[in-house]
Amino acid sequence: MLITPGRFLRVIAIQRVLIRHGFDEMLFATPWLRSLSFLRFLLPWNWMHRHYDSRAIRLRRAMEELGPVFVKFGQILSTRRDLLPDDIAEEFAKLQDHVPPFPGAQARTIVERAYDQPLSTLFSSFDETPLASASIAQVHVARLLDGREVVLKVVRPNIRRVIERDISLMRALAESAERYSSHAREFKPTRVVTEIEKIILDELDMLREAANASQLRRNFENSSVMYVPEIFWRYTRQNVLVMERVDGIMISNTEALLAAGVDLHQLAATGVEIFFTQVFRDHFFHADVHPGNLFVRPGAPGEPAIFIPVDFGIMGSISEFDQRYLVENFSAFLDRNYRRVAELHVESGWVPRNTRVDDFEFAIRTVCEPIFDRPVKDISVGQLLIRLFQTAQRFHMEVLPQLLLLQKTLVNVEGIGRQLDPDLDLWRTARPSLAQWMKDRAGIRNLVREAKQSLPRWMERLPQLPEMVFDVLDQLKDGRLEIMTRDVELQEIRREVREAHRRLVYAVVGVGLLMAAGMIDGNPHILATDLEHFPLAGWVVGALGFVALLNALRPRRER
């Protein structure tokens, strides 16, 4: 990685933040450096006693101070409860952007450059005082020429350069960790960094966020329980999003909701139904649900309250393949059919095909039985998924990004629902959505719909079918038909054989060179060339032999 002055200064700044939050204390507490912990007191900033909060709180505060890339890094890590200690995962889930706003006059300039014309030609008013400020963008209130109130989401100036710089540093650290630590290789930090980069760069694109909002608005166009603000595409650019301004009560303000006559029990149940509707009906769900992104508009007497989501930068989608296995998993869990849960994980490819189903079944039963030994309404679906992922990690489960987003969102939805209604029974609330999904997939109507969708493809390939059949028959008749298979275990055996051969060659060469070094030191005239004028010849040959032996002992290269 090229070290530029900007990167060097950023590294220094990161070090100062970590030292200020006592990161060196945590570093020396690790098993590898615990025996050298006395060296920490030789560092000048530790000469005076300082009081530290818990390690999880310090890590969260350090990430918030380091900026958007590190905040997103912590937020993504908070979904990997299978890899992080519980205290750190809980604290990372609280990560929020705390970034001072940039000047309103600068925001006006950014917007005018995006439109290439003065704001007065598009808006009758523009409030330079930001309504909200985050690490990626900040929000300003404006009014269109026709009198409608809108909000403008303006991307921070030069933020892409800051993000790319921090991502490059993070990737270099991740690559080093994977190179020198087997535990880090299991964690796959480079893949996490790539995921962070994709999420943040997607959030920089206001056109993408506007498209997400428009899709969600279409999905709930005729809904009586959810309203998605309108996007004004005429005024939206890559770094400026213009959206209808909506009023509502923040969902965490329960006192205001009660004062407005909102039934919190019904509101919690409706929120859960909306989430499962997005997942199983639309395959497309809001994946950044937290109290700051969710508002409620009280309904008229006798009518339900209306949910109003905002901030559509992170959305998730689930394929029908994953949907089917999720529904069957939920049903098997409720029936305590752990054998079926284990089989579903193998069938879906979430765990390797060679996983022993009976071992996996026993591990799942060990996790789930203590949880199910309580009233159903007290069972946390989110915590159950977290424990399941932790168990599956031991069986080398590759947790897919879409499942991580789903788990994260489900935990947040359940948390908000339980704040509104502590007695919320998420299982019972979710059952109608799951049952409806199974009914739709198993019904005649779904078969007819899928046939209609596939018919054009079938018609296109139908004329080729006779020729393909005759071609296969001719190959079979002439003995030219070959079936190619890929045996993963056979390939692994071949790799092991090649690796053993490599080690043997290096070992033989190394031992030979070491023997030659001893003979040269004992008798410099042993070779035709007089080596008396080269007193270090034996050492050089011995060093080469030692290097060859090290190569023979080196662990197998990762593939």
Predicted confidence band of residue 411 (pLDDT cuts 50, 70, 90): confident
Predicted confidence band of residue 528 (pLDDT cuts 50, 70, 90): very low
Predicted confidence band of residue 558 (pLDDT cuts 50, 70, 90): very low
Which pLDDT score, from 0 to 100, does residue 482 have?
62
- Region 405-419: what's the mean pLDDT? 82
Predicted confidence band of residue 68 (pLDDT cuts 50, 70, 90): confident
Select from 436, 381, 438, 445 the least CA-distant residue to 414. 381
- Region 315-338: what's the mean pLDDT? 80
Which pLDDT score, from 0 to 100, does residue 70 have?
80
- Using a cut of 0.85, tell me whether the model's pTM lies above it: no
Structure tokens belonging to residue 392: 């599956």
The percentage of residues in the chain with a pLDDT greater than 70, rounded to a whole number, is 66
Which pLDDT score, from 0 to 100, does residue 541 have?
61
Tell me which of 509 and 521 has the higher pLDDT.
509
Report the alpha-carbon distance of residue 330 to residue 336 in Å, rounded: 10
- Region 222-233: what's the mean pLDDT? 94
Lowest-pLDDT range of 26-35, 176-185, 203-212: 26-35
Tell me: pLDDT of 42 over 60.
Answer: no
Predicted confidence band of residue 85 (pLDDT cuts 50, 70, 90): confident
Which pLDDT score, from 0 to 100, does residue 202 have?
87
Which pLDDT score, from 0 to 100, does residue 215 have?
96
Which pLDDT score, from 0 to 100, does residue 559 have?
43
CA dihedral 366→370→371→374, nearest 10 degrees, is 150
Tell me: pLDDT of 203 over 90.
Answer: no
Place of tokens 């101070």: 65
226 three-state secondary structure: strand
Which pLDDT score, from 0 to 100, does residue 542 have?
62
Tell me which of 3 and 94 has the higher pLDDT.
94
Which pLDDT score, from 0 to 100, does residue 171 have?
84
Tell me: pLDDT of 187 over 50.
Answer: yes
Beta carbons of 228 and 99 less than 8 angstroms apart: no
Q: Is 378 a catalytic residue?
A: no
What digits encode the pLDDT tens for the residues 471-512?
777 777 676 666 655 555 556 666 766 776 666 666 666 666
How many CA atoms are closer than 13 Å to the CA of 453, on its beta-carbon side? 6
Predicted confidence band of residue 264 (pLDDT cuts 50, 70, 90): very high
Report the alpha-carbon distance of residue 140 to residue 120 in Å, rounded: 15
- Region 347-362: what's the mean pLDDT? 83
Which pLDDT score, from 0 to 100, does residue 115 have?
92
Tell me: pLDDT of 447 over 60.
Answer: no
What digits encode the pLDDT tens for the residues 242-256?
999 999 999 989 999
What digits encode the pLDDT tens for the residues 135-161?
789 999 999 999 999 999 999 998 888
Lowest-pLDDT range of 122-126, 358-362, 505-509: 505-509
82, 166, 288, 425: the active-site residue? 288
Report the alpha-carbon distance of residue 128 to residue 144 in Å, rounded: 15
- Region 188-213: what's the mean pLDDT? 86
Share in percent of the chain as helix, strand, coil (round to 5) = 65, 10, 30
Strands annotated E in 276-340: 284-286, 294-297, 306-309, 315-317
CA 27, 30, 36, 38 torsion-angle sign:
positive
Which pLDDT score, from 0 to 100, does residue 323 have?
80
Lowest-pLDDT range of 2-11, 39-48, 257-266: 39-48
- Region 112-122: what's the mean pLDDT? 92
Predicted confidence band of residue 20 (pLDDT cuts 50, 70, 90): confident
Report the alpha-carbon distance of residue 166 to residue 169 in Å, rounded: 5
What digits encode the pLDDT tens for the residues 430-446?
777 777 766 666 555 55
Select from 280, 137, 118 the least CA-distant residue to 203. 137
- What average pLDDT does the structure give for the chain? 77
Tell me: pLDDT of 29 over 60.
Answer: no
The percentage of residues in the chain with a pLDDT greater than 90, rounded to a whole number, is 22
Tell me: pLDDT of 211 over 70.
Answer: yes
Tell me: pLDDT of 226 over 90.
Answer: yes
